[in-house]
Amino acid sequence: MNAIVCVIVVSIVALSSNGFLFNDKEDIILVPSVAFRDHSPTGQSSGWILHNQGWYYEDNPVQATIMTKALSIGIKNVDKERIRLFTASGEDDKKLCVEGLNRAMCTKTDDEGRIKNTFQMTKEEVQSFIQPGGNGGKVTYTVSTPNKKLQAKGEIYLCDDNGISFISDIDDTIKVTGVTSTAAVLANTFAGEYKSIEKMADAYRYWEKRYNATFSYLTASPDQLYPFLREFLDRENFPSGSAHMRHFTWFDVNFIQFFMSANYIKSKTDTLNMFMKNTKNRQFVLIGDIFQKDPDIYADVYNAYSDRILKIFIRKEQNDDRGIERLEEVFKNVPREKWTAFENGDDLPKDIFV
């Protein structure tokens, strides 16, 4: 399987450097983001700061063909749509219009084609745009090219200073990915229907209602594949919420190293710190798995914000005694009642704080 990865990377780099890439369709992907209360010295305490995130891309049929053929050597029924988005090229310095909030504005994509903006809105403005979505509500907006030829609708979920948020990993926490195996990661990412860990959606929906909670999702997966993760989350009926992903480019060494890199640890840690620093009294439940570094990340966050972390849940394999030993070591500074290992949604308690 490593040979397949090498074939993909070497072939695409060679074609790119020789200028033999032919581009096709352009489009925009918007990923659900989050809004926090405005705590800046000049801001209104009841106002909001909203963030958006997305990607403006152009198809790259040559890259897609190469990757499809390479993956098909070892994987059956490769999903060409996933590969189409994964191999697309970001469109840098493209002018876009953001509309549908309190004011229209224009922006430009960065050098990777990414869309990242921040908006300030008063409490009254947010109230006039708020829609049902998550327990905190959401606002929607539109990003389009100046000629309106391309348009995409985005969501921003409100995360207030008080309340409870569940922040969940995706890969091998709620979705079968197999991050310890290169072959499994490629197969479960680029082929077949995404599969849910048993009963996780049931547990999350119960917690959402029981605790009037908001949900946010963390993943090391690339945001290019968000449309397929969204289809999975909706199909399995997981609670709606913001998604916090990384961005892959073909300047990364390869997809597997991207997936397992230290940047993945930093990205998750930065996102968790963002939630902590931008909410005064909100409390958090963290859910992850033992197969990567979620325990280490969550332990560090707990040590920094012990009064804000209500519970940590870590998914493990059945009869994994070594895994439990690892968790006991990683969580040595976390009270035992604050963390629990589980295997599927049936193992999760309905009432967490009893």
Tell me which H or E stretch contains 268.
Answer: helix 262-277
Supply the pLDDT for residue 353. Answer: 79
**Predicted confidence (pLDDT) at residue 241 exceeds the cutoff of 50:** yes
Could you give the CA distance from residue 226 to residue 32 in angstroms, rounded to a whole number?
10
| Span 204-217, pLDDT tens digits | 999 999 999 999 99
Distances (CA, A) of 227 to 54, 120, 232, 354: 11, 27, 9, 37
Supply the pLDDT for residue 11. Answer: 47
**Predicted confidence (pLDDT) at residue 323 exceeds the cutoff of 50:** yes
Distances (CA, A) of 46 to 100, 160, 200: 21, 10, 35
Which CATH architecture best describes the domain 164-347?
3-Layer(aba) Sandwich (3.40)
The answer to whether 210 and 350 have CB atoms below 8 angstroms apart is yes
**Predicted confidence (pLDDT) at residue 340 exceeds the cutoff of 90:** yes
- Hey, how many other C-beta atoms are within 10 angstroms of the C-beta on 344? 14
pLDDT band (50, 70, 90) for residue 17: very low
The answer to whether 107 and 117 have CB atoms below 8 angstroms apart is yes
**Predicted confidence (pLDDT) at residue 13 exceeds the cutoff of 50:** no
- Hey, how many other C-beta atoms are within 10 angstroms of the C-beta on 18? 8
Tell me which H or E stretch contains 22.
Answer: none
Supply the pLDDT for residue 14. Answer: 42
**Predicted confidence (pLDDT) at residue 18 exceeds the cutoff of 80:** no
Could you give the CA distance from residue 89 to residue 249 in angstroms, rounded to a whole number?
8
pLDDT band (50, 70, 90) for residue 256: low
What's the mean per-residue pLDDT of the chain? 90
All residues at 6 or more sequence positions from 48 whose CB lies less than 8 Å from its CB, including other chains: 35, 36, 37, 38, 120, 121, 122, 123, 126, 158
| Span 193-240, pLDDT tens digits | 999 999 999 999 999 999 999 999 999 889 999 999 999 999 999 999
**Predicted confidence (pLDDT) at residue 282 exceeds the cutoff of 90:** yes
Supply the pLDDT for residue 307. Answer: 97
| Span 125-178, pLDDT tens digits | 999 999 999 889 999 999 999 999 999 999 999 999 999 999 999 999 999 999
Q: What percent of the chain has pLDDT over 70?
A: 89
Q: What percent of the chain has pLDDT over 90?
A: 77
| Span 61-70, pLDDT tens digits | 998 999 999 9
**Predicted confidence (pLDDT) at residue 4 exceeds the cutoff of 60:** no
Annotated domain spans of the chain = 2-158, 164-347
Mean pLDDT over 332-339 rounds to 97
Could you give the CA distance from residue 190 to residue 225 in angstroms, rounded to a whole number?
10
* Alpha helices in 73-199, H assignment, sequence order: 80-86, 123-129, 182-190
Supply the pLDDT for residue 16. Answer: 42
At position 294, the amino acid (one-letter code) is D
Supply the pLDDT for residue 41. Answer: 79
The answer to whether 345 and 203 have CB atoms below 8 angstroms apart is yes
| Span 135-150, pLDDT tens digits | 899 999 999 999 999 9
Closest C-alpha to 178, from 34, 1, 41, 348? 1
pLDDT band (50, 70, 90) for residue 327: very high
**Predicted confidence (pLDDT) at residue 75 exceeds the cutoff of 80:** yes
The answer to whether 83 and 68 have CB atoms below 8 angstroms apart is yes
Q: Is the dihedral of CA 192, 157, 166, 354 positive or negative?
A: negative
Q: Which tokens go with 132?
A: 């049902």
CA 120, chain centre distance (Å):
23
| Span 302-319, pLDDT tens digits | 999 999 999 999 999 998
**Predicted confidence (pLDDT) at residue 1 exceeds the cutoff of 70:** no
CA 39, chain centre distance (Å):
25
Distances (CA, A) of 215 to 16, 26, 157, 163: 40, 31, 9, 11
Could you give the CA distance from residue 106 to residue 143 in angstroms, rounded to a whole number?
9
Distances (CA, A) of 222 to 102, 227, 260: 30, 11, 12
CA max distance for the chain: 63
Could you give the CA distance from residue 139 to residue 36 in angstroms, rounded to a whole number?
12
pLDDT band (50, 70, 90) for residue 2: low
Supply the pLDDT for residue 260. Answer: 60
Least confident of 4-8, 13-17, 168-172, 301-305: 13-17
Supply the pLDDT for residue 34. Answer: 98
Mean pLDDT over 96-110 rounds to 89
The answer to whether 54 and 125 have CB atoms below 8 angstroms apart is no
- Choose between 320 and 19: higher pLDDT: 320
Could you give the CA distance from residue 53 to residue 243 in angstroms, rounded to a whole number?
10
Distances (CA, A) of 230 to 137, 225, 241, 276: 18, 9, 10, 25
Supply the pLDDT for residue 20. Answer: 39
